[in-house]
């Protein structure tokens, strides 16, 4: 039976690399799929990994009906054996419903890849809806580490080198950006709560064994 599968993890856990591997394995067997993405670091209409791999994709903007797009490709005689969606956390809940309809009505497998929570530790709407609808939710097994060596479970946003917990939910950046612009870092829960990035730790601003307190 076809499935809607959500592969989730933190930033830098290899989700885009896995999406590209899925595409390679299936195309090598003569299957043909559609790839959707939104706001990839490589630019519009691209699916890229930090290993330097990149392929073309359909930019799933907020006005794109994913189900209608697949139906149109099939109606034109195109071959579609499966659907891959990267950066699925950025889709709106209605588009996730469309992915479920692709599985149920068109009987195609849909593989969605994305991060679960934002820099505020809140669920992305797309990820929340995927958790609600997916036949399976798979946690990616490539373990990312906090600067302290513990398992990283949270995504932190930095602006000019300072960790922030307020702002727009979607701001495109990456884990290897300059500290003088918007960037991201994966942290364990403890150090996310303390807003203790690797830069703060290395500067000795706080001790990892001492909780931050305010006077008065």
Catalytically annotated residues:
87
Question: Would you say 154 and 121 are in contact if contact means Cβ atoms under 8 Å apart?
Answer: yes
- Show the CA angle centred on residue 43, arms to residues 157 and 70, nearest 5°: 110
Question: Would you say 41 and 171 are in contact if contact means Cβ atoms under 8 Å apart?
Answer: no
| Closest among 175, 183, 212, 188 to 12, alpha carbons compared | 175
Question: Would you say 84 and 33 are in contact if contact means Cβ atoms under 8 Å apart?
Answer: yes
């Amino acid at each position: 039976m076809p499935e809607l599968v959500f592969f989730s993890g933190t930033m830098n856990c290899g989700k885009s690399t896995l999406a590209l591997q899925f595409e390679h394995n299936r195309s090598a067997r003569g299957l043909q799929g559609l790839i959707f993405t939104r706001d990839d670091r490589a630019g519009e209409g691209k699916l890229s990994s930090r290993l330097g791999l990149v392929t073309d994709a359909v930019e799933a903007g907020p006005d794109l009906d994913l189900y209608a797009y697949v139906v149109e490709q099939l109606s034109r005689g195109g071959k579609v054996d499966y659907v891959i969606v990267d950066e699925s956390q950025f889709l709106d809940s209605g588009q996730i419903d469309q992915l479920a309809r692709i599985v149920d009505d068109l009987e195609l497998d849909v593989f969605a890849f994305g991060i679960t929570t934002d820099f505020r530790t809140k669920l992305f709407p797309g990820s929340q809806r995927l958790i609600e609808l997916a036949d399976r939710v798979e946690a990616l097994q490539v373990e990312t580490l906090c600067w302290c060596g513990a398992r990283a479970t949270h995504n932190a946003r930095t602006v000019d080198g300072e960790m922030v917990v307020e702002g727009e939910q979607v701001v495109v950046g990456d884990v290897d950006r300059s500290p003088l612009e918007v960037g991201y870092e994966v942290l364990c829960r403890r150090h996310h709560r303390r807003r203790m990035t690797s830069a703060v730790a290395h500067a000795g601003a706080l001790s990892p064994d001492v909780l931050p307190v305010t006077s008065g």
